Amino acid sequence: MSSRTSRLNLRVSDDTVRILEEILERKNLRSLSDVIRDALDRYIDDEADAWNSEIIKVKIPRILLEDLENLVMAGDATDVQQAINFALRDWIERRKQYLLEGRDALRKKVDEVLSERAAKEKMRSAAQEMAKR
């Protein structure tokens, strides 16, 4: 079964054509049209996956990427992207927990200081009452 196709015409800079030709050679594709189709397919896949997410490009030191790939090969994740998502989720959860614990510790300290001040004020008031008698 053959799917219907459409023809697109577009203009790109000479620099873009040069880069596309380099990709053509590197990937052993047959034509620039194959390179463009491959690029469009990847773009469509990225957009389909990104409807409920954001794509962020980061540079990862090669040593970390090698470790990630080893963990993926060990079965800890299905691919590097999933491993990075797991790591990021874990880091965010740890930071949230740290901030919550820090806020709770601060509240406890404030409560202690307020209680201490109230106790001192009671003692000062009691001392003033005794001095009047």
32 touches 20 (CB < 8 A): yes
Do 70 and 43 fall into the same domain?
no
- Summarize pLDDT for 54-103 with one digit per residue, the tens: 778 889 999 999 999 998 999 988 888 889 999 999 999 999 988 888 88
Instruction: Give the chain's domain count.
Output: 2
Which residue is associated with the tokens 């299905």?
Answer: 78
Residue identified by tokens 């201490």 is: 116
pTM for the full model?
0.43
**In-domain check, residue 7:** no
Q: Cα–Cα distance between 74 and 72 in angstroms, integer? A: 5
Q: Give a yes or no: residue 107 inside a domain.
A: yes
77/83 Cα distance (integer angstroms)? 5
Do 17 and 79 fall into the same domain? no
Fill in the amino acid letter for 65: L
| Domain enclosing residue 133, as ranges | 56-133
Tell me which DSSP letter residue 4 carries.
P
